[in-house]
Amino acid sequence: MMSRYLLVVVGALACLAGSARPAHAVIVERIVAVVGKDVVLLSEVNERIRPYLRKLLSIKNPTEREKAFHRLQRQELEKLIEEKLLVQEAIRRKVEVTGAEVKRAIQSVLRQNKVGYKELVSALKQQGIGMAKYRARLSRQILRLKVINLAVRSRVTVTDDDVRAFYASQKRRLGVQQKVHVKVIRLAPPPQGPDRASKRAARLALVARLVAELKAHPEQFGALASRYSNHARAAGRGDLGFIDRGRLPPTVDRRIFGTKALGIIGPVEADDGFYIVDVVARQASEALPFAQVKNRLKQQIFVQRVQNQTQKWLRELRKKTYIDIKE
C-alpha cells in the first residue's frame, strides 16, 4: 500500500504536469524504466523531485511550469538509470560500500563544514532528509566513486608533456593579472531635487574644464585632486598606486584596462560620480612559471579527462544494457 507521503507528492506533481484527471485517477505507482534486470519506479522519480516541488510550484505560467516539471522528471530519471547501471557494475566487479566508509564520509562532511553531528542532523531535517536517507545517499556516492575508480580513473594518465602542452596553450590565461598605477579625481553626483539637471550640467562643465587643464598640465593632478576630489584618497593627492581590475567602478575599469595608453582619461561617469583618471604606468601581465602551476594544471587535466572518460564509459555501458524507458 502506497504511503500517504507518496500520494501527497504525486498529487502535487500531477498539478504541476497540468493533469486534469480527478484525484482518484492519479497513478501513484508504475514502472517508468527497465534497466537490465532492474526497474525504475515512479515513486523513485517522485522522491528525487520532492525537494524541488516548492520551486516548481512557484512558476506562475502553467505552460512553463509543465515544461520545467517534465525537464526535471527526465533529468532525475536519467540519474536513476545511471545509478542502476553503476550498481549492476558494482555487483559484477564485487564492489561494496561498508558502514565504516559511510561513517568516514560523514566525519569528512562535518570537518569541511565545521559543524557538529547534531547541527548536520538539524540542517538535513530542514530539507526533509532523515539520517537514514542521507547515509543511503552517501553510500550511493561512494559506490559511484569506487566503480569509476576501477573502470575509468585507473586508465587515465597525464604526462609532463601533456601538462607542458596545456601550459603553452593557456599561457595568457595563467598570467598574473595586469596592474595599473592610477591617480583619480572623483566629483560626487548632484543630489536629487528639482534643480538636479542644471546642477549636473554644471558638474559636467567643471569636470570637462579640469580634464582640459590636466591634459595641458598633468603635473597639476595632485593639487587639483586635493582641491576638488571627494574620493577617499583625495588627501593623498588622488594617488591609488598600482591597482587590479575591479577596484574602481565598471565604467571606469573598462576605460582604464581597455587601452594601453598612459595619461589623462575622462570624464567617465559612474554611479558614484564623475571620474578623471591619470594612468601613470602599466605593469604588464606575465605568465606564472611552469614549476609554480605544474601540479595544479596536472590535477585540472586529470579531472577533465576522468570526466570525459566517465561519460564515454557510461555511454558504452548503456549500449551494452537493455534499457526501456516507458513514456
What are the pLDDT digits (tens) for 263-288?
999 888 888 889 999 999 988 666 67
For the chain, the average pLDDT equals 85
The Cα–Cα gap between 33 and 42 comes to: 9
Radius of gyration of the chain (CA): 31
Which pTM does this prediction carry?
0.55
Report percent pLDDT > 70 for the chain: 87
What are the pLDDT digits (tens) for 52-76?
888 888 999 999 999 999 999 999 9
The Cα–Cα gap between 33 and 31 comes to: 6
According to the model, what pLDDT value does residue 119 have? 92
CA dist 101 → 106, 187, 219 (Å): 9, 62, 69
Q: In the 8-state DSSP scheme, what is residue 192? A: S
Q: Which residues of the chain have pLDDT under 70?
A: 1-27, 171-177, 232-235, 284-287
The closest of 157, 249, 263, 272 to 219, measured between CA atoms, is: 263
What domains can you pick out in the chain, each with its CATH number? 4-155+311-325 (1.10.4030.10), 179-283 (3.10.50.40)
The Cα–Cα gap between 274 and 184 comes to: 10
The closest of 139, 89, 118, 95 to 318, measured between CA atoms, is: 89
What are the pLDDT digits (tens) for 99-116?
999 999 999 999 998 889
Instruction: Let me know: does 104 contact 111? Beta carbons within 8 Å.
Output: no
Q: Is 275 helix (H, G, I), strand (E, B) or coil?
A: strand
